Amino acid sequence: MASNPMQQFTVHKIGPEIKIAGIDLSFTNASMFMVISASIIILFLYLGSKDKSIIPSKLQLIAEMFYAFVAKMISDTAGSKAKPYFPFIFSLFMFVLFCNMVGMLPYSFTVTSHIIVTLIMALFIFVAVTVIGFIKHGFKYLSIFVPSGVPVVLLPLITIIEIISYLSRPVSLSVRLFANMMAGHTMLKVFGGFVVSLGVLGGWLPLSFSVALTGLEILVAFLQAYVFAILTCIYLNDALNLHH
Amino acid sequence: MTDPDDFKTRLKIAKSKIKNQLINDNEKRGSFMGNAFKLGTELVAAVAVGTIIGFILDNWFDTKPWLIVIFFFLGAAAGILNVIRAAKKMQKED
Residue A231 lies in a domain: yes
Examine residue A61 and state whether it is found in any structural domain, yes or no.
Answer: yes
The structural domains of chain B, with segments of one domain joined by +, span 20-93
Specify the DSSP class assigned to residue A16. S
For residue A1, tell me if it sits in a domain: no
pLDDT digits (tens, 9 = 90+) for A102-113: 988 888 888 888
A78 — pLDDT class (breaks 50, 70, 90): confident
Looking at the domain assignment, is residue A112 inside a domain? Answer: yes
Q: Which SS3 state, helix, strand or coil, does residue A146 take? A: coil
Residue A2 lies in a domain: no
How many domains would you assign to chain A?
1
* Contact (CB<8Å) A162/B78: yes
Shortest distance between the Cα of A57 and any Cα of chain B, in A, equals 25
For chain A, percent of residues with pLDDT exceeding 70: 98
Instruction: Answer for the pair A227, B34: CB distance below 8 angstroms, yes or no.
Output: yes
Contact A167 B75 (CB under 8 A): no
Q: Where are the alpha helices (DSSP H) in chain A?
A: 29-48, 58-78, 86-103, 115-137, 155-202, 204-240
The complex scores an ipTM of 0.72
Asked whether the beta carbons of A32 and A15 are under 8 A apart, the reply is no
Prediction pTM value: 0.82
- The whole-angstrom distance between B93's CA and the closest CA on chain A is 10
The answer to whether the beta carbons of residues B72 and B55 sit under 8 Å apart is: no
In a domain, A195, yes or no: yes
d(C-alpha A77, C-alpha A89), whole Å: 12
Each residue of A173-187: pLDDT tens digit? 898 899 888 888 888
Residue A187 lies in domain: 7-240
